[in-house]
Chain A
Amino acid sequence: MIYGFLAQLVQMTLILVLSPLLTGLVRKVKARLQRRRGPSVLQPYRDLRRLLGKEAVIADNASWLFRVAPYFVFAATWVAAALVPTFAANLMFSWSGDLIAITALLGSARFAMALAGMDIGTSFGGIGSSREMMIASLAEPAMLMIVFTVALIAGSTQLSTIAETMLNGHVGLRVSLALALIALIIVAMAENGRVPVDNPATHLELTMVHEAMVLEYSGRHLAMIELAAALKLTLYIAMIACVFAPLGMASGPGEIGADAIGAMAWLGKMAAGGVLLGVAETSVAKMRVFRVPNFLGAALMLGLLGVLLLFVSRGM
């Protein structure tokens, strides 16, 4: 009981603490690939500290919503991330929300973010929110299709159960799973605002999506948003790992050994994911905003195809 509670606590803190590191890692990889030395992998922590230290300047006509949004975004993302099994499945509260709930929690965070973007009534905030919702309106269904595929194979929408099925069950290689994986990667790109959908580094107004939304933020609010973004990235990579490479994950908190192994394995996967992401981002170019729908539409179609295959002929 106590241990289970501790495990849950560890899980939450682990994700929270490590997520900036992952961002830093990705940046570092990109920098190296671009023949730059780049900042240290710990740079994100420093940024956060700096932002927290600054006083926050907010517009005169900002409403309470503008001030609450960052905290809500952060909290929702954090809770969602905490629900993804990292080193061990079947954590104490893992059943309080399944894969669909996680997706929806991220949706709420996005909802709040988009509203905050419109609060000041600037043109850029509008651009950001409107594009963000447009992207989401395709990414979310795609995500749900992926959830369907996985859930139909595992017979559950519960991430822990899915991980165990993938781990122990005789799933084997499946067409629909492959489709789902591709779709999930595309969605993850879009959701985290990475190249080719959006560029987290850019501040060229007309190409911004996420950055345009948060343009008015500063100080601790901005810190919260940055942290939330990092958490989200971690969450997606962890999710991919948990579903498609649950190797080494402990089937449940209990004996220290298994958990330790699981933690090690997880850290490895995260690192690998970060490196791969960096490579991917440097190797492709950002696309125009209105090409994004086709990109995501492809993901949606892939996901739907996977589900249809499962429905029409079991065992694919």
Chain B
Amino acid sequence: MTEVVSIVPALFVLALAGVLTARLPAGRVLIYGGSLVLCAGLLLAGFDALTSPVQHLRLPLGLPWIGTNLRLDALSGFFLIILGLGGGGASLFALGYGRHEHHPERVLPFFPAFLAAMAIVLVADDAFTFLFGWELMSLTSWALVMAHHGEAGNARAGFVYLIMATFSGLALLLAFGMLAGPLGGYAFDSMRAAHPGMGTAAVILVVALIGAGSKAGLVPLHVWLPLAHPAAPSHVSALMSGVMTKIAVYGFIRIVFDLLGPNQWWAGTVVLALGGITAVLGVLHALMERDIKRLLAYSTVENIGIVFIGLGLALAFRATGFQAGAALALTAALFHALNHTVFKSLLFFGAGAVLNATGARDMETMGGLIHRMPRTSFAFLAGCVAIAGLPPLNGFASEWLTLQAILVHPEMSEWGLKLMIPVDGAALALAAALAAACFVRAFGIVFLGRPRSEAAAQARETDSWSATAMLGFAALCLLAGIFPGVAIDAIAPVARGLTGARMPEQLTDAWMTIAPVAASRSSYNGLLVFGFVTASILLTVAVVHRLSRGVRRGPAWDCGFPDPTTASQYSGASFAQPLRRVFATVVFQAGETVTMPPPGDNRPASIVRRIRDPIWDTLYLPLGRGVGWVADRANKMQFLTIRRYLGFVFGALVVLLMALTIWQ
């Protein structure tokens, strides 16, 4: 507790220092180095909080009669770990990456403040402090998104982002208002004590889902992610995608699981439905994307969907009184959140490195970078495997747990759950498979093949700070993948605190096998799988190399027609084409028009692809148009004659007098 309380002000001091030293080269080292150290502190505090008892603290800030109440329990601790990990990694990466920043004075002051705001959210124990941190988090990250305000589209990105962020804040404000009651019991303890009625609880749950969901990126409230994340500098994108969305998840868990108390089973179905839709839609968007950072942002949407599937299961199980299952589902969700922080940060780092090397975000201009940037490509590959949910890396471990949670309890009496749980299982499987395709495409187009542009051909490997950050996170992906038991046991206290149960102890097994319920039912041993695969690779290599002769380099075979022009290789768009035909024609009304000039005509042939975002078209455009329409009508009220305005006064007077006579 004391660590956090001392670290947050230190971060704000760093922010001030950033204002002063922004233009000096030393400023970068100071700010990011400082953030790195402080994030390490947060990390330690988080680990400490997982095991130690709940700690309270009350500071005489904010509203005097409430004060600033801070609380550090296992849940906060776990997310502090996420924050410390992601923030520390981003700082480490930025130590080198920040060198290429053209406007350091627009980044350095806000970066530590952003971290501090997120820390505040995590330790807040009253509505005011919570929302203070929440909105501050939005404001500072908005400033970071606007750092490159010169680039086209960033202004719009910042606009959409801050609007959605404020929307989420106001929604949560309503939820807290409902929880606090007319007397204003803003302290979380009093909210826990108060048990709202069923109707009230339902309203709170929906509002909280909207509020937290729009910050986490739940469909249909996800529209800001693909705009805002690419706009920000890459290490900030990593922070927003990897950590901030998790803070939103934390908000949801804190309100719904902790403050709201027991819930109805339908809550589970709602969350499950949203989670499933989000997972599939997100990855489909990612598949169609050609801007590498937008692709990553959309894949964040997908992973948030997976996390919410876990949360929905936990809600459903908790409502039906099956606490072991709830613990399993919640553990899976939290574990996946942690994993996503690791590999998504890693991937955004890689994207940043590529962006620096080639000066482009458009994948179609890249290619062959694996030769120019070996370290980056290796780390990025690890990230791709992890996020595609493939063993032996960590993405698979958490998705496997989620699937186990889906399978753990088929005997449901509620029809909604009977239908929703298996459908979500299918959605999860589909999302995982599509994610694999998506990241084969991402890595293959960016790093493999032949360079598609001069810049890509001349790309240079990134600096050692960034490389350290990336390789470190890659190592984390592996470790979390082969020792999932450690993470699960670490999460156990959180699960017990929120569901009243925990998963069975995992680390007792000699081989570190994880078994959610019992080894006979289902088990997975990342360590052994990894060991077997590595061993058999080595074995085969040894054997085969003894048997066979060496390797000779030669021109590519390509069925005898090797084509020197790099344009002949598969592009991102052509890679996605089969999947676009299969899925997007339905979901995004995707279509293509081919113009093929007749033989002898030497005009170039062309193909035009159209993709439409159904959510944007059906929800946001009409909304915007409606507001504009009303605004135009209202605008006619400007510059009327004075007589008209007097007419208004007169009318108001008469109306009020009439009302009075009627009332009397």
Contacts and interface: CB of A to CB of B under 8 A. Distances in A.
Indicate whether A and B are direct neighbours in the complex (CB within 8 Å): yes
Interface of A: 52-65, 67, 71-72, 74-76, 78-79, 82, 93, 95-98, 100-101, 104-105, 107-108, 110-111, 114-115, 118-127, 129-131, 133-134, 136-141, 144-145, 148, 151-152, 155-158, 161, 205, 215-216, 218-220, 223-224, 289-290, 293, 300, 303-304, 307-308, 310-312, 314
Given A96-B511, A148-B407, 9 more contacts: A67-B551, A75-B536, A129-B444, A156-B521, A157-B407, A158-B522, A307-B426, A308-B423, A310-B422
A133 B579 contact: yes
A243 to B, nearest CB: 15
Contacts of A104: 389-391, 396, 400
Contacts of B568: 122-123
9 contacts: A57-B552, A60-B554, A63-B371, A65-B370, A122-B556, A130-B575, A134-B578, A140-B433, A304-B422
B190 to A, nearest CB: 41
A289 B578 contact: yes
B422 A120 contact: no
B575 A137 contact: no
Contacts of B421: 311
A61 B450 contact: yes
Contacts of B566: 121
B559 interface: yes
B662 interface: no
Contacts of B521: 155-158, 161
B544 A63 contact: no
Contacts of A219: 548-549, 551
Contacts of A151: 407, 522
B536 A123 contact: no
A222 to B, nearest CB: 11
A141 B562 contact: no
Contact of B570 (A107, A125, A161): A125
Nearest to B570: A126
Interface in B267-300: none
Interface string B435-470: 011001101110011100000000000000000000
A63 B448 contact: yes
Contacts of A93: 528, 532
A24 B574 CA distance: 36
A260 B662 CA distance: 100
Contacts of B385: 108, 111
B550 interface: yes
A79 B549 contact: no
A95 B418 contact: no
A67 B552 CA distance: 12
Contacts of B557: 57, 59, 122, 215-216, 218
Contact of A121 (B419, B433, B450): B450
B89 to A, nearest CB: 25
Q: Which 10 A-B pairs have the closest CB atoms?
A: A126-B570, A121-B449, A118-B444, A141-B429, A133-B437, A96-B528, A144-B429, A140-B433, A96-B525, A134-B578
A52 B541 CA distance: 12
Contacts of B544: 52, 71, 220, 223-224
Interface string B83-119: 0000000000000000000000000000000000000
B443 A130 contact: no
A98 B579 contact: no
A111 B370 contact: no
Nearest to A301: B426
A213 to B, nearest CB: 11
Interface in B317-374: 367-368, 370-371
B556 A120 contact: yes
Contact of A130 (B391, B400, B418, B574): B574
B370 A57 contact: no
Interface size class of chain B, counting residues whose CB lies under 8 Å from the partner chain: 35 or more
B367 A95 contact: no
B418 A312 contact: yes
B220 interface: no
A101 B524 contact: yes
A110 to B, nearest CB: 8
B17 interface: no
Most buried by A among B391, B562, B575: B391
A52 B412 CA distance: 56
A123 B407 contact: no
B444 A114 contact: yes
A86 B391 CA distance: 23
B390 A133 contact: no
B487 interface: no
Contact of A216 (B367, B406, B448, B556): B556
B430 A141 contact: yes
Interface string B525-557: 100110011101100110011011111111111
Contacts of A223: 544, 548
Most buried by A among B515, B555, B578: B578
A151 B407 CA distance: 8
Given A126-B575, A216-B557, A145 B551 contact: no
Nearest to B411: A314
A95 B510 CA distance: 13
Interface in B394-432: 396, 400, 403-404, 406-407, 410-412, 418-419, 421-423, 425-426, 429-430, 432
Contacts of A58: 551-554
Contacts of B444: 114-115, 118-119, 129
Given A304-B422, A311-B418, A75 B391 contact: no
Contacts of B540: 71, 74-75, 224
B574 to A, nearest CB: 7
A58 B553 CA distance: 5
A12 to B, nearest CB: 9
B143 to A, nearest CB: 39
Given A101-B529, A126-B570, A311-B410, A61 B368 contact: yes
B389 A158 contact: no
Nearest to A293: B582
B390 A108 contact: yes
A105 B552 CA distance: 31
Most buried by A among B370, B371, B385: B370
Contacts of A53: 547-549
Contact of B525 (A64, A95, A119, A152): A95
A60 B445 CA distance: 18
A107 B432 CA distance: 10
Given A55-B549, A76-B533, A121 B569 contact: yes
Contacts of B263: none
Contacts of B436: 107, 110-111, 133, 136-137, 140
A141 B578 CA distance: 17
A54 B558 CA distance: 19
Contacts of A95: 513, 515, 519, 523, 525
Contacts of A52: 544, 547-548
Interface string B25-57: 000000000000000000000000000000000
A224 B411 CA distance: 45
B524 A96 contact: yes
Contacts of B389: 104, 107
A156 B410 CA distance: 12
Contact of A75 (B390, B533, B579, B582): B533
B166 interface: no
A133 B439 CA distance: 10
Most buried by B among A108, A290, A314: A108
A216 B557 CA distance: 6
Contact of A115 (B448, B548, B550): B448
B577 to A, nearest CB: 7
A230 B515 CA distance: 31
Contacts of B391: 97, 101, 104-105, 108
B516 to A, nearest CB: 10
Given A114-B440, A131-B578, A121 B525 contact: no
B388 interface: yes
